[in-house]
């Protein structure tokens, strides 16, 4: 019984700093005051916004998978750097954009989604 409590206390002690501070080397879509702001509006609304961090502009250096971060109209904050954004809605062609988030700057994307031919999706 005591051994189980000891192990759980050690695990909690190890996890608390990680939960409070996080890992600073992992790119995060929503960040601190050093972040850039992002606004995405689509017609039609309720499209899903996906983000993926990039190491640089090159297509060869992506960091991880896309994260679904919300639906349009979307407002969020990004860590400075290069990002891939993908916007999808059922029955419409997906839109992919390479963007550069700059500290303290806001970016607004107003996208008109193009419907797919009937029966395609």
- Identify the pLDDT of residue 117: 86
Going from N- to C-terminal start, the domains of the chain cover 27-112
| Sign, Cα dihedral of 87, 36, 99, 19 | negative
Which pTM does this prediction carry? 0.65
Cross-strand partners of 100 = 82
Ramachandran angles phi, psi of 93, nearest 5°: -65, 135
pLDDT in tens, the chain (121 residues): 566 677 777 766 666 655 555 544 445 555 445 688 999 999 999 999 999 988 766 555 566 788 899 999 999 999 888 899 999 999 999 999 999 999 889 999 999 999 988 755 5
Whole-angstrom distance, CA of residue 40 vs CA of residue 47:
10
- Identify the pLDDT of residue 33: 55
**Number of neighbours of residue 48 by Cβ within 10 angstroms:** 18
- Identify the pLDDT of residue 76: 92
DSSP H helical segments within the chain, as ranges?
Answer: 2-21
- Which CATH architecture describes the domain 27-112? Sandwich (2.60)
Question: Closest Cα partner for 91 from 58, 57, 119, 56?
Answer: 119
């Amino acid at each position: 019984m005591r051994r189980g409590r000891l192990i759980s206390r050690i695990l909690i002690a190890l996890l608390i700093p990680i939960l409070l501070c996080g890992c600073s080397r992992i790119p995060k879509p929503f960040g601190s005051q050093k972040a850039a702001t992002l606004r995405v509006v689509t017609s039609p609304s309720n499209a899903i916004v996906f983000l993926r961090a990039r190491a640089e502009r090159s297509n060869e250096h992506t960091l991880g998978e896309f994260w679904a971060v919300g639906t349009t109209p979307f407002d969020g904050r990004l860590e400075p750097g290069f990002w891939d954004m993908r916007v999808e809605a059922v029955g419409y062609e997906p839109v992919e954009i390479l963007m550069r988030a700059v500290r303290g700057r806001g970016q607004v994307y107003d996208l008109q989604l193009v419907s797919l031919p009937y029966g395609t999706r």
